[in-house]
Structures are given as structure tokens and as C-alpha cells.
Amino acid sequence: MSERSADTQWGGVDKYAYPLTDEEKQCGCVACPPGQELYAFLYARNDHWTGAYKGKDFFQCRPKGSNLNGVRVSPAFFEKNTGMKTCGGDVQMAPTFAIKRQRETVNDIYMMPINKEQRFQIKCDIWKISSCFTINKERKCLTSKRLFFHEATQNRHPPTFTVTKNDLTSALTSSDSRYDKLKKLHNEVGLCALPALVS
């Protein structure tokens, strides 16, 4: 593993943990090793393995696709460690995350000319994370999202057609005029720009 990782000696996907920096908290993102994804946040750890990072927050990663049950937050003694029992309003817990994975669809995107307009339905897969952190007693919330093209269907004037993620490149480089509006939408704003607005 990287020099940045700490060996928790817990085994399995829990074996390694990575210190969560203020920069990562502010940008709302963490860098897992290649082929892995975010798995857990460990809050204010005082374990023997934390070393110079004792009392700091950590995150853990797991192999991609191994589990889609979301991200685990582990503040050990939640009430005590987060300040909840003081009834002070905002929970004093560094990471607050909401993760969303789904397919967004936008319908009835009309492209000119009038009377011969094409109408598109566009589907994109979204991964979105909203994160809130308290840094220097100031609460900050940021959102980051990634969208991946899934499918576009032209369903008004013939010839109707569907372009999937697997044949998108061939459609965008084709000389066939039926793809002209799709290419324009791709080049001007990006095919997932509209699904991004509603996600």
C-alpha cells in the first residue's frame, strides 16, 4: 500500500486506513488506490495504529463493485464523540456524507428545424456525493458528481434511432446526417449536461 496508509491490523477491507486531510474535506473528495472505491469514514480515532495522526479522521477503501450498500461512518461512541448529547444544534462530527447512485433521464429535448425537429430522450448514470465538514469551527458543504452517458433515443421524426454508450463514438464520428443534432448537443454542452441539472 501507499506510504500514506496505516495498517489497522483488522484484516479484510478494514486492514488499511488513510488520514483524511483538510484539503480533502474542503473539496469533498478522497483518493482511493486504483481499482478501489470509498468504503468507510473513521472519526477521531485514537487507536494504537494512528501514530502521528492520533485523534484525526481516516477513510477506508474497498475493491470496486464489491458492495453497493453505501459508505460506513464509524464514530465509535456516536453520542459522546459527536457532541449530540449537548443539544448544541449541528452535530460536531467531521464527515457528513450523502451518496447517490442512479440513472437520470431527461425527456423531450427538441432540436430544430421546425416541422422536422428531432426529439431526444437522454439517460446518464450519476454518482453524486454531498459532504459537510466543520473546519476551524466553520461548517462547509460541497457537492461533487460524475455523470456517464448511457443512452440517447431520437423518437419523433423518422428515422428514429437509439445510441448507446457502446456505439456513441461511432455515432459522433459518423457522416450520417441523422446524428448531426446529437453531435451538436454533445459538442456544445455535453450529452449529460441536462441530466446533471436535474440530478
Every domain of the chain and the residues it spans: 1-94, 95-199
The region of weakest confidence among 72-81, 141-150, 152-161, 168-177 is 72-81
Distances in Å between the Cα of 125 and the Cα atoms of 62, 79, 120, 128 are 21, 36, 17, 10
CB neighbour class for 88 (10 Å; exposed up to 12, middle 13-18, buried from 19)? exposed
Distances in Å between the Cα of 13 and the Cα atoms of 50, 59, 61, 137, 157 are 17, 12, 7, 32, 52
Strand partners, 163: 152
At 71 the pLDDT is 61
Is residue 84 very low, low, confident or very high in pLDDT (cuts 50, 70, 90)?
Answer: very low
Three-class DSSP category at 58: strand
The region of weakest confidence among 70-84, 91-105, 136-150 is 70-84
d(CA 90, CA 134): 10
Q: In this structure, what is the dihedral angle of CA atoms 192, 193, 197, 199, given to the nearest 10 degrees?
A: 20
Residue bearing the bigger pLDDT, 167 or 39: 167
Is residue 96 very low, low, confident or very high in pLDDT (cuts 50, 70, 90)?
Answer: low
Residue 163 has pLDDT above 90, yes or no: yes
Sign of CA dihedral 62, 67, 71, 75: negative
| Long-range residue pairs from 135-142, CB within 8 A, at least 24 positions apart, any chain | 135/22, 135/25, 135/26, 139/90, 140/25, 140/26, 142/26, 142/27, 142/28
